[in-house]
Amino acid sequence: MSDRKLTILGIVAVFMVIWAVVQSRVSNRPKVETDGPAYLIWGLDPADIDSIVLKTSEETVTLKRQQGAFVVVNKDNYPAKTSEINNLITKILEIQTLQFVTDNVSNHEDLGVTEEKAATVVKFIKTDSSLLTGVIAGKAKEVGQGTYVRLASNDKVYVVPSLPWLGGTAMSYVEQELISVKREDIVSVTVSTAGGEYTLKTTDDGKGVILENIPAGKKFKTNDGDSVFTALTSLRCDDVKKKSGELTFDGGFVCRLKDSTVYTLKIAQKDDKTYVTCEAEFTDKTPVTIGLKAEPEEELKKKEAKLLAQENAIVFTRKHQGWVYEIAEWKAKNLIKELSDLIEDEEKTEENNEAEDPNTIKPDETDTPKIEEPNAVEDELQAVQY
């Protein structure tokens, strides 16, 4: 074989080696194909979902269907907020892919779409504990916008141009607002603490607050009293758990409304935290009767409002029965404020201060020279001449 042929064969061999190395490297890199926008999940029926597992860097949240509604397993199976469940499912179904990236499992870790490395994992589970579907969201795209995602049941990885926020803690799925009343509807508030009991009432015009039975020599601190009076205009909880015997509820907060609804909180404190139980009662026990004959519309509205208030009190008590709520410190202080924090000494006038101060030095009237009137002096002179 001639030298020329040997040289050509050598060049070809070298080229083939280089080509093999390049192909090997390319095969291990993510493949990018532009497929156009498409929904990541198709045909999910929410009725098929028995439980939802949401894993983030903060915690793993489990939501379980019980008697037709979801509960938060992390919080002793407390009822989940239906709107948040619906919101999560809607956001998952609205995820659209832009590009196919790879189906090579060896690339999953680099893209952050393994369950261990993922930023967010959402799984929908069937009643038999098998996987219905799910989404695993990984890293953000290195160049340009987008996030790597894949189905929990599939190895294919896609770029999602706009991934909705899927995070949250267990408390994100709990209705944290316990009570919300209007200030103008409050008639009185009674607070019971270790230091005693006191009652705040609204003024006749409904704009101010007064303290009943103010001690002699004291005056009411209006601003502090108003904070206590309006504590239930927006009462939220930071945590919730099943009621147990580990807490002693020796405090109380009772709020009475114009419509005869009475909210009662029992209060306990432990380890610098404040806990409450909640119940409501409708105190107007007068029966509501609907006559056969026509009644004025105004009267019917009053009866309707009364029946609604009765029902709300029953539903409220039923919902919160057996549960204990942790209240944030800044809000709890208005539920447990002592009477001594609402009153202060009256300001004394200057005259009273002088009268009551034993150290006040007063001039002695006997030491003051007496100045006689001019007419009296003239009369004495005339008497001497005679």
Give the pLDDT confidence score for residue 35 in this predicted structure. Answer: 54
How far lies 332's CA from each of 209, 252, 326, in Å? 20, 12, 9
Of 33, 72, 65, nearest in space to 50 by CA: 65
pLDDT at 275: 98
Question: What are the residues whose beta carbons fall under 8 Å from the beta carbon of 323, sequence distance 6 or more?
Answer: 78, 240, 241, 242, 243, 277, 278
What is the value of pTM for the model shown? 0.79
- pLDDT score recorded for residue 296: 86
Q: Which residues of the chain have pLDDT under 70?
A: 1-36, 291-292, 348-386
Residue 224 burial by Cβ neighbours in a 10 Å radius (0-12, 13-18, 19+):
middle
Q: How high is the pLDDT of residue 350? A: 53
Which domains are assigned to the chain? 30-173 (no CATH), 177-287+305-345 (2.60.40)
Residue type, 209: V
Sequence-distant (6+) residues with CB within 8 A of 335 are 191, 228, 231, 251, 253, 265, 267, 274, 276, 327
Q: What is the pLDDT of residue 292?
A: 59
DSSP class of residue 163 equals P
Using DSSP's 3-state secondary structure scheme, residue 10 falls into helix
The whole-number pLDDT of residue 358 equals 52
Query: Count of CB atoms within 10 A of residue 230's CB?
Result: 18
The C-alpha R_g of the chain, in whole angstroms, comes to 39
Q: How far apart are CA 114 and CA 324, in angstroms?
A: 38
Rounded Cα distance between 282 and 306, Å, is: 9
For residue 247, give the amino acid letter. Answer: L
